Structure 1
């Protein structure tokens, strides 16, 4: 879920991890199909045009669980072409596609739509077409882990409607170029609801319009680039309250939309975490990325999702994750997991977005790591490190964190907890907290409002760290095993140890902190060694029995031979 997944984790420790394994983003498909390629690959029919603006105009019928509307595509041609691809699930009907007042011909294959233009669209030209469509969208059975619409009712019997589509795809409910690499520069989201209900979507509410059929249209404008899976609607009889945060870029509006029956408890609950979270994350990551559009928390009938500037909240006003601590340290019960994690995605996932879902570790590793930074902001560095260590019991080391490219397939669910521990390890390798903080802020400044690859992230961190950390990234991202520090006594009876890394990545040579094991009461005499794949030697003081590695801050195994 970003609850991201973007989120997640379950009622009991064992249930938490079985739930993750079955989430919509973590389901495994070993054989890839033509449909997977149509969805995941940037073919010439997709790269021939660059989307700059959408206007999604949609009416939702709660009783019939039916939607009808249109989406305008405004684009710039990147090459000459006469055919392009957009995406819309084939259970939704296309009524017509209009271009300059004319109806265009199209064909469909799986969930891909191929549009034919009568004349060549010239490179550099700016054009637009509008897709009119209708139907019953996919209904999620277990949101947010499987995607789709959620049609339910509040305790008062009123409609409560939401959508969560990461992994499943935004094209499950509206026509778009359904690939993370192409973000529009801005977007209008117009959602029409029956009178007595309201829609809350991304961005700022520009206007409302009463329609002749008893519906009301809510027009929301997103003034920043936005990824298609972040586009959302939330329909209910909401109560609204607001606040302001004096942040790095001025006043940031904070808007909260909750069910009326929860209004009394929502105020103090949100107040306890939202501003401290913003203060902490702005310090570590830089300014909140979407000041013009504001920050919103919206109560939803599912657990949560990081919808840009409109964070979905369904943690039932509890600390922890549905009242549980995913780190099993007790530290996670002092704050609301969904508020912290999903808001962290505003920086990693929404501001910085992976081009291909195969690189979704960029979203989840950094955001899960941000939980530890939040603990550090509140309770100190050691507490933050303890929280991150506590995540290790959930790591499976089953498949690589990076998934296969061009088929819309993510890597292992370990991208959350293993990814978080990888980043904590990198911080320990760099061994300069201020440099590490500037690297995290620099990532958001350099790649903010852009889509990126794994190579982009690694190249940037290598440059700023002043060290080639590529083999370290490779070991944790591309292989299932974690590195093992092998240590044994040298032959010949001398008080000498030899050591090396046993790792899969070529040229793995990560520095690691160690200390001598002896009877000295001062256990903080850590120092660095730089093992490689070859044996190296280290003479021990007469009082020492051996060495031990800092496995608290380096996610490694050790093996005394």
Structure 2
């Protein structure tokens, strides 16, 4: 997972900003608010414990329809984002996250609306108040050259330009570099992505390909994701890829896209995806999505593998069997059951790491206890409790992965294999396509076991110090 940007300044709406925005957006030149408005502005940020400015309050996005046109030669992106949302409060204004791109025109329910940009906040004031419970449609036309975001740990996310196209990855905040939205994991939505690029290039995104047409030297690809997705899991890969669609023995589509320069080296592992899926379904329960696959890119385009929904992204150097198992496991733990906030990242990474241990146990004859003991002796796993990362820069640090997996192993030892298997399957079933917190998980485990597990959580999940014995 990728650590985010520093907190962004709140963008107050002032009369002069509204008047200037109206010149662009087509609202009344005075920027006046209709009489009788009772709403209040939605919050900029959802007060995430680690990223308080990320996301926005006052509404719940239901669907993103993104129409994009990209020119790799210049790096320019032109886009239209149609955002269907339900108001969770009476709104006189609301915010969208958008990084380094210009909003050229904004409408709400077909009416030109005032829009002001400051930092990564796009503040929209509809011409009419939006009543709580109402479903409303915001359309943002935007353009510019998307930028790469450098996180506090030095990793890069957002929009990564490549030799012949681009790669968009968004954990935790990078998706705002290519489309406006409510970019916090607590607000999941369905997606339709239509992208036009020069003929000869491919576009790969989440979900399934709904169509492809070429006209006047440019090709348009239409991708649809019918299952809810957190925006940090959205991806867009543009370039000359070797693409292939096959099926697992159960009929699940496997959609892969590989850069030609690494296609030969990747072929054998790509062929293992059906086996990994068969094992994962047996271990974790029914697969939550309608396709799986992979995007494999050359080294240097991205510095890490990422569990982008349906189609994990791998740089060639990280396209290995254990990492493939890890990223596919995220579709149960992280993608379907998504953290309530970024403090809960161990629920993603601890489970995915433990999936690696289970795979080694089932196929390599290496007991999970052996990997547990190795993790126990690793000093880096004890730098902080896995359920309490101290800063945004640490949400991808060792305790979130290794000690998170140790929590699960101690739970397995406490309750036995049969009950632990029920938890492995029942947890993603209980919160399928939803959000959940660490407290939700501990309560679920205790309900399944039938008694409290206070000592386990106190020592392994929240404890500051390493116990004397493993």
Q: What TM-score does the superposition give when structure 2 sets the normalisation length? A: 0.84
Residue 258 of structure 1 deviates from its aligned partner by 1.4
Work out which of the residue numbers 202, 209, 212 in structure 2 matches 1:198.
202
* Residue aligning to 1:134: 143
* Residue aligning to 1:225: 228
SS of the residue 1:416 aligns to: helix
Residue 61 of structure 1 deviates from its aligned partner by 1.7
Partner Cα distance (1:336, 1:429) in 2: 29
Residue 363 of structure 1 deviates from its aligned partner by 0.7
Work out which of the residue numbers 54, 61, 70 in structure 1 matches 2:71.
61
SS of the residue 1:414 aligns to: helix
* Residue aligning to 2:281: 282
Is the CA contact 1:439–1:461 (under 8 Å) kept in the aligned structure 2? yes
Counterpart check, 1:340 vs 2:325: yes
Is the CA contact 2:8–2:120 (under 8 Å) kept in the aligned structure 1? no
* Residue aligning to 1:253: 253
Residue 297 of structure 1 deviates from its aligned partner by 0.9
Partner Cα distance (2:254, 2:360) in 1: 22
Residue 339 and residue 35 in structure 1: after superposition, are their counterparts in 2 closer, same or farther (change >3 A)?
A: farther
Deviation string, structure 1 residues 188-245 (Cα, Å, up to 9, x no partner)? 0112111100101001111123344x32111100010011011111112111233322
Deviation string, structure 1 residues 278-297 (Cα, Å, up to 9, x no partner)? 1221122111210x2x1111
Partner Cα distance (1:230, 1:268) in 2: 26
Deviation string, structure 1 residues 334-375 (Cα, Å, up to 9, x no partner)? x62331111111111101100211111111111111100111
Counterpart check, 1:367 vs 2:373: no
Counterpart check, 1:97 vs 2:102: no
Residue 476 of structure 1 deviates from its aligned partner by 2.8
- Map 1:389-400 → 2, pairs under 5 A: 389-392=373-376, 393=378, 395-400=380-385
Residue 461 and residue 388 in structure 1: after superposition, are their counterparts in 2 closer, same or farther (change >3 A)?
A: same
Deviation string, structure 1 residues 82-135 (Cα, Å, up to 9, x no partner)? 21121111x211101112332210223431222112222122222101111111
Is the CA contact 1:39–1:112 (under 8 Å) kept in the aligned structure 2? no
Partner Cα distance (2:154, 2:257) in 1: 19
Partner Cα distance (1:403, 1:166) in 2: 18
Residue 50 of structure 1 deviates from its aligned partner by 1.4
Partner Cα distance (1:73, 1:406) in 2: 31
Work out which of the residue numbers 408, 414, 431 in structure 2 matches 1:447.
431
Residue 403 of structure 1 deviates from its aligned partner by 4.1
Unmatched 5+ stretches in structure 2: 12-42
* Residue aligning to 1:86: 96
Counterpart check, 1:174 vs 2:208: no
Counterpart check, 1:269 vs 2:285: no
* Residue aligning to 1:469: 453
Work out which of the residue numbers 390, 414, 420 in structure 1 matches 2:399.
414
Is the CA contact 1:55–1:189 (under 8 Å) kept in the aligned structure 2? yes
Work out which of the residue numbers 87, 105, 114 in structure 2 matches 1:77.
87
Residue 480 and residue 63 in structure 1: after superposition, are their counterparts in 2 closer, same or farther (change >3 A)?
A: farther
Partner Cα distance (1:366, 1:315) in 2: 24
* Residue aligning to 1:188: 192
SS of the residue 1:120 aligns to: coil
Partner Cα distance (2:430, 2:339) in 1: 14
- Map 1:140-151 → 2, pairs under 5 A: 145-151=155-161
Tell me the C-alpha RMSD between the 2 structures. Answer: 2.9
Residue 169 of structure 1 deviates from its aligned partner by 3.2
Is the CA contact 2:212–2:221 (under 8 Å) kept in the aligned structure 1? yes
Partner Cα distance (1:409, 1:47) in 2: 25
Partner Cα distance (1:70, 1:134) in 2: 9
Larger radius of gyration: 1
Residue 388 of structure 1 deviates from its aligned partner by 3.6
SS of the residue 2:409 aligns to: helix
* Residue aligning to 2:121: 112
399-408 vs 220-229, which moves further: 399-408
Work out which of the residue numbers 292, 295, 299 in structure 2 matches 1:295.
292
Partner Cα distance (2:248, 2:71) in 1: 36
Residue 387 of structure 1 deviates from its aligned partner by 2.9
Deviation string, structure 1 residues 511-559 (Cα, Å, up to 9, x no partner)? xxxxxxxxxxxxxxxxxxxxxxxxxxxxxxxxxxxxxxxx5xxxx3xxx
Deviation string, structure 1 residues 366-414 (Cα, Å, up to 9, x no partner)? 111110011122134x533323433342634223323479989848541
Is the CA contact 1:144–1:164 (under 8 Å) kept in the aligned structure 2? no
Is the CA contact 1:163–1:234 (under 8 Å) kept in the aligned structure 2? yes
Residue 478 of structure 1 deviates from its aligned partner by 2.9
Partner Cα distance (1:34, 1:88) in 2: 13
Counterpart check, 1:387 vs 2:371: yes
- Give the length in aligned residue pairs: 429
